Structure 1
Amino acid sequence: MNSSKILEIKNLSVTFRTSVGEVPAVRGLDLDLKKGEIIAIVGESGSGKSATARAIMGLLENNGKIKSGMANFTYSRNGETVCCDLLSLSRKEIRKHINGRRIAMVFQDPMTSLDPTMTIGKQLTEGMVIHYKTPKKEAWRKASELLEMVGIHDAEKRMKNYPHQLSGGMRQRVVIAIALSCNPDILICDEPTTALDVTIQAKILDLIAGLQRKTGVSVIYITHDLGVVARVADYVAVMYAGRIVEKGTANEIFYHARHPYTWGLLSAMPSLDSSGELYVIPGSPPDLSGYKGGDPFADRNAYALNIDRRIDPPMFRITETHYAATWLLDPRAPKVSMPAELEVRIRHMRKEEEYGI
């Protein structure tokens, strides 16, 4: 893996204007993406995952506003290295020069991404013709190859189909093929398997990981399910209430998590040894419209300290790659270990990984 950064996000803050005032959706987010890396952003609905992706792609809704931050994107153009701050570009500029061409996005519902009135072939070749002036015959050939690459056989026949003639899993594969059609540097996958059954989910996840290895594209994978992350991610960022509360390598997050929210997500994952009802993190995500400070997770945190009610914790460094925003890591805090049940579960997870289950 190339260690150079392709995307560097610093202090990103996003708010949405509502009837009760401005609501902070993303709060001071820092995240780096390296070339050839797959990063997973994980968290419950409303944690700010999708708002982060939409902000850097210029796709925020009209009531959304970037309050601060930068997103430096480094790529090669005509043999030269180019760096630009995506947040400083106008919507017109980012749509013309970046979206689809340099950064592509796969959404969770393929039917909202595909035009029901256009054939699959037409939708696959459109980006190549518009962005690169590719001759139609050559674009058609490349589109057929892309369908084969994403596991759709009999590509020539499928190119003439309309979206409603394909299954949900095939439509999502088509969306991924369209996203790859202009050879993007970054592929953002926003809950791409949510609408699919478990068997198809696994195939799509393996497909994305395989395509990354084959093409070298950098991937940001957004999901609410920590369970899918182990199949694809090199690095994991856990979000809660608009900020990253823990980040580290996949190994560090799965086997050495330090934030109580991450413990909750790990405990809620189904596994082969699960019996009875799955664990559910108590309470609900906070309403940030009335946020006055403190740790938003405090009311759901069995290990909350008095300071959590007053001050949102800073990000504490655990290793060079592992960080967590919890006052439990302060040297003055009482020593707290992860729940015993989770330790047992992690031992089972290690065994499952060891035996390739």
Structure 2
Amino acid sequence: MEKEKILSIRDLSISFKTSSGRVNAIRGVDLDLYRGETLAIVGESGSGKSVTMKAAMGILSNNGEVNSGSINFTYYRDGEKVEVDILKLTKKEMRKRINGKRIAMIFQDPMTSLNPTMTIGAQIVEGMIWHYKTPKKEAYKRAIELLELVGINDAEKRIKNYPHQLSGGMRQRVVIAIALACNPDLLICDEPTTALDVTIQAKILELIKDIQKKMNISVIYITHDLGVVAKVADYVSVMYAGKIVEKGTVDEVFYDPRHPYTWGLLSAMPDLETKDDKLYTIPGTPPNLASEVKGDPFAPRNIYALNIDNRLEPPMFKITDTHYAATWLLHEKAPKVEMPVELRNRIDRMLKEAHQDAK
């Protein structure tokens, strides 16, 4: 059975006006997501992960400008297939047709996502009443069901609580309930477990995974935590300096990473068996996107950089039908460079831990 594409981003470029000039934050991003599957977008802070997804929700800040590209989203209305280019919709149309209703977002800090002056019940039913004109009594009944779905006990009592009366883990569960209230087709999770302790993190990830199966929704994770990616994703897109530099299935990107930046991210993962007290960090800093980027933007930080990296930006080289990477090391005339053995061993240990946690 052929998979159905739910989100397709093509040649997306976004810039921001700042006091230092125009910053080209997103530079020609291509990205696909299929119905019922999970995509993880990974990279350092400032690589463009959140900006790309905010564009997909039409919530870019006022100083942000889309310079080119398309964001095609597919959903069903009364059994009929509907395809829209989100970039062509007005903010009013986005609020009415898409945001909260078809695409919902979970942010990393539940306290900034919840209104401290409203009960959690009132916040859960708000979207149902706004989008579907659901009667208040019916909406509250659904809200109780959602709280139970996300694992909150005594839902009928808790629905009257205010956010400050709940723990961090419970608040994040409420945020998930709000996101699910209108049965969205796509759930975007922007670092959904960053503000939570490790034990609660695992429970929230398992919860999202379980809900995804029950509701057959597509999920996008925005994260810098590759441990999370190994546990939840079907596909991975690695971003650097506003571009996707490697993409593939989670097994391809983890077991057979080809871009030196991906090697660096994987090397920076904490490892329980590492005897050295120091954590690996990628040397240098990302390029200033307010200036023109010549060649491969990762070249100054890449110990494997070739002369051509300083002159020409590499294209996406095909490794398999699903695996691509933008590095000149994949050119047929490039010297053969293997991933460091130490990194290979660390990746194997990390994936073994992730698979054990999944069981």
TM-score tier, shorter chain, comes to over 0.9
Unaligned runs of 5+ in 1: none
Mapped to 2, the partners of 1:154 and 1:109 lie a distance apart of 24
In the TM superposition, what whole-angstrom CA distance separates every residue of 1:246-282 from its partner, at most 9, and x where no partner exists?
A: 0000001111000000001111112332232221111
Aligned equivalent of 1:321 = 322
Give the Å deviation of 1:346.
Answer: 2.7
Change in Cα spacing, 1:227 to 1:67, as seen in structure 2 (3 Å) is same
* Structure 1 residue 356, shift from structure 2 partner: 5.7
1:183/1:353 CA distance change after superposition, 3 Å:
closer
Post-superposition offset of 1:347:
3.2
Query: Residues 291, 118 of structure 1: CA spacing in aligned structure 2 closer, same or farther, 3 A cutoff?
Result: same
Letter in 2 for 1:314: P
Match of 2:208 in 1: 208
Q: In the alignment, is the contact (CA less than 8 A) between 2:231 and 2:354 conserved in 1? A: no
Q: How does 1:327-346 map to 2 (within 5 A)?
A: 327-346=328-347
Q: Where does 1:224-303 land on structure 2 (aligned, <5 Å)?
A: 224-275=224-275, 276-303=277-304
Match of 2:64 in 1: 64
Alpha carbons 1:2, 1:34 under 8 Å: kept: no
**Change in 2 beyond 3 A, CA 1:249/1:152:** same
Relative distance call for 1:202 and 1:355 in structure 2 (3 A) is closer
Greater shift in the superposed pair: 340-349 or 22-31 = 340-349
Residue number in structure 1 paired with 2:105: 105
- Mapped to 2, the partners of 1:261 and 1:233 lie a distance apart of 19
Cα deviation for residue 186 of structure 1 reads: 0.4
1:209-246, Cα deviation, whole Å (9 max, x unpaired): 11111111101110011121111100000000000000
C-alpha separation in 2, matches of 1:52 and 1:353: 27
Secondary structure, aligned partner of 1:221: strand
Deviations 1:153-205 (A, max 9, x none): 11011100000111111111100110000000000111111111111111111
Matched AA of 2:340:
P
Show CA shifts across 1:295-328 (max 9, x none).
1111111101111111111011100000000000
| Amino acid in the other structure paired with 1:99 | N
Gap change, CA 1:140 and 1:187, over 3 Å in 2 = same
Residues 230 and 351, structure 2, Cα contact 8 Å, conserved in 1: no
Check 1:111–1:75 CA distance in 2 against 1; reply closer, same or farther (3 A cut). Answer: same
Query: Is contact 1:2–1:36 with CA below 8 Å preserved after alignment?
Result: no
What is residue 144 of structure 2 aligned with on the other side? 144
Alignment TM-score, normalising by the size of structure 1: 0.97
Q: How many angstroms apart in 2 are the aligned matches of 1:42 and 1:117? A: 34
Asked if 2 retains the 8 angstrom alpha-carbon contact of 1:111 and 1:171, the reply is yes
Cα-to-partner distance string for 1:118-154 (whole Å, 9 max, x where unaligned): 0011001111111111111111111101011111111
Q: What SS does the corresponding residue of 2:12 show, helix, strand or coil? A: strand
**1:83 alignment partner in structure 2:** 83
Matched, 1:195 2:195: yes
Residue identity opposite 2:106 in structure 1: V
Q: What is the alpha-carbon distance in structure 2 between the residues aligned to residue 59 and residue 223 of structure 1?
A: 19
One-letter identity of the residue aligned with 2:326: A
Instruction: Look up the equivalent residue of 2:88 and give its one-letter code.
Output: S
User: Aligned partners of 2:81, 2:49: CA distance in 1, in Å?
Assistant: 29
Shift of 1:351: 4.4
Distance 1:354 1:31, change over 3 A: closer
Distance in 2 between residues matched to 1:189 and 1:114, nearest whole Å? 15
Find the residue that maps to 1:52 and give its secondary structure: helix
In the alignment, the residues of structure 2 paired with residue 240 and residue 270 of structure 1 have an alpha-carbon distance, to the nearest angstrom, of: 21
Label 1:2 to 1:145 Cα distance change in 2 as closer, same or farther (>3 A).
Answer: farther
Residue equivalent to 2:183 = 183
Structure 2 gaps of 5+ residues are none
- Residue aligned with 1:39, SS: strand
Q: Tell me the matched-pair count.
A: 357
Aligned CA RMSD, in angstroms, stands at 1.4
Q: Which residue of 1 aligns with 2:220?
A: 220
Whole-angstrom distance in 2 between the partners of 1:314 and 1:111: 42
Q: Structure 1: how far apart are the matches of 2:60 and 2:228?
A: 26
- Look up the SS of the partner of 1:272 in the other structure: coil
Tell me, in whole angstroms, the C-alpha distance in 2 between the residues paired with 1:140 and 1:235: 36
Distance 1:77 1:354, change over 3 A: closer
Shift in Å, 1:354: 6.4
State the TM-score, normalized to the length of structure 2: 0.97
**Contact in 1 for aligned 2:150/2:176 (Cα 8 Å):** yes
CA distance in 1, matches of 2:246, 2:32: 14
